[in-house]
């Protein structure tokens, strides 16, 4: 059960990053009427993953819950590793 909540927290942090960029886009105008559907779908999918995984874990359907949280956690972890490598390696991309 600790593994589930660890992965869920990773998903929640990814959701916070998405919300940060969404609100930043609202402030600077890059989120507009033209791309509001895409943002809505992305935020709804992330919310569905987070709430759906909690629903399924409470219904004792652990496989479905783990499948849901890994859909978001794997790309988030891979991106985190990539950014960590960029910080450590300090590449010069000229």
Q: What is the pLDDT of residues 33-82, one digit of tens each?
A: 899 899 999 999 999 999 999 999 999 999 999 999 999 999 999 999 99
Q: Calculate helix-pair angle for 2-28, 62-89, nearest 10 degrees.
A: 60
Residue 1 — very low, low, confident or very high, per pLDDT cuts 50/70/90? Answer: confident
- Helices and strands: H and E segment counts in the chain: 3, 0
Place of tokens 């105008």: 29
- The reported pLDDT for the residue numbered 90 is 87
Whole-Å CA distances, 12 to 17, 33, 34, 49, 89 = 9, 26, 27, 10, 28
The pLDDT tens digits of the residues spanning 19-38 come to 999 999 999 999 988 998 99
Residue 92's pLDDT is what?
86
Check residue 49 and give its pLDDT: 96
Could you tell me the CA-to-CA distances from 36 to 18, 44, 56 in Å, in that order? 14, 12, 29
pLDDT of residue 21: 95
Query: Cβ of 19: how many Cβ atoms within 10 Å?
Result: 13
């Amino acid at each position: 059960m600790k593994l589930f909540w660890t992965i869920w927290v990773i998903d929640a942090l990814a959701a916070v990053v998405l919300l940060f960029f969404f609100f930043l886009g609202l402030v600077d105008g890059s989120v507009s009427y033209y791309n509001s559907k895409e943002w809505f779908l992305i935020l709804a999918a992330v919310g569905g993953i987070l709430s759906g995984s909690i629903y399924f874990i409470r219904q004792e359907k652990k496989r479905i819950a783990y499948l849901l949280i890994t859909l978001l956690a794997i790309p988030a972890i891979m991106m985190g590793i990539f950014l960590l490598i960029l910080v450590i390696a300090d590449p010069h991309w000229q």
